[in-house]
Amino acid sequence: MIQVRRLGHATFSTENMDREVEYWQHVMGFVVTDRTKDRTILSTKYGHEAIALVKGQPGWLQRLAFQVAPGSDLGELQSKLQGHGVKSDLASDITPGVRRALTFTDPKGTLIEVYADYELQADDGRDPPIAPLKFGHIAARVNDPQKSTAFYCDVLGFRVSDWIGDHFSFLRCGPDHHTVNFARYKEERLHHIAFDMKDSAAINRACDYLAKNKIQLVWGPIRHVVGHNLAAYHRNHDDIRVEMFCELDVMYDETLGYFEPRPWHEDRPQRPKVWPADTWRAQWGFGSFGTFPGYP
């Protein structure tokens, strides 16, 4: 299998490039590191590419990039993919930070880009009110979460952190509780994307700044049950649901098999498991008493 180590960037299509760039740069605090007529690349203040925008239907996930161990032989990884029956191609210069990558399609039809080596991007010197630490996770609506979960685990090396019933999986590729989610829906499309913030104070400041920009929260602040992160959600102009979070469960040592202890955990130690289908969406906060079917 390929052992993915980190979530890279997501490519979304938009009809209004200027408006979306304005949102990601001046509301969410990202840095424009490359812009042409048809494409814009935005990075975090800390140099990691997070969002790519291309022309097209607004709010649709076009591509998703992951990093494997630096120095990995892409030819060898291509052979591993072939062993799983996955056809892939080599691509060059997909972004300013990624010179070489493998590209292939996952079960839900998203083009996946896997790269080994990455060049950090420069800071623009601004000090924005919202400044996510990293692109934390991405969730997708799929017809068959078991199929997508199996592909990401068997082919890309993800591990299952938790399930809610048989309809919502949480997968990790590093110590963070989840990097990818798959939730069962009739229509396959993006569910939400999420950005890691420094702490709860940073989320509070971000919510105030969203209000000043007349962007309402659609959910939160809350503390989730599965993953236990503090979170606040809003939608951008292209109707992409954006989560800002902190205090996500972590598993620093895989051999221990449990998440780092937290005072709000239901079990001690908190281990990966299948949660009941009617598990609450959150321990507290606006909308915390609904179960999964009412997820906004």
Q: Where are the alpha helices (DSSP H) in 142-260?
A: 145-154, 200-212
Segments making up each domain of the chain, as ranges: 6-115, 134-288
Which runs of E-coded beta strand occur in the chain?
A: 6-14, 31-35, 39-43, 49-55, 60-67, 89-95, 98-105, 111-115, 134-142, 159-164, 168-172, 180-184, 189-196, 217-224, 230-235, 241-246, 273-275, 282-285
pTM of the predicted structure, to 2 decimals: 0.95
Domain 6-115: give its CATH superfamily. Answer: 2,3-Dihydroxybiphenyl 1,2-Dioxygenase, domain 1 (3.10.180.10)
Could you read off the pLDDT tens digit of each residue along the chain, which spans 296 residues? Answer: 999 999 999 999 999 999 999 999 999 999 999 999 899 999 999 999 999 999 999 999 999 999 999 999 999 999 999 999 999 999 999 999 999 999 999 999 999 999 999 999 998 888 999 999 999 999 999 999 999 999 999 999 999 999 999 999 999 999 999 999 999 999 999 999 999 999 999 999 999 999 999 999 999 999 999 999 999 999 999 999 999 999 999 999 999 999 999 999 999 999 999 999 999 889 998 765 454 444 44
Q: Does domain 134-288 have CATH number 3.40.50.150?
A: no
Distances, alpha carbon 262 to alpha carbons 19, 45, 227, 256, 291, in Å = 40, 29, 11, 16, 23
Distances, alpha carbon 296 to alpha carbons 145, 237, 280, 285, in Å = 19, 17, 13, 14
Query: 113 near 62, Cβ under 8 Å?
Result: no
6-115 and 134-288 in the same fold: yes
What is the rounded CA–CA span in Å between residue 17 and residue 172? Answer: 32
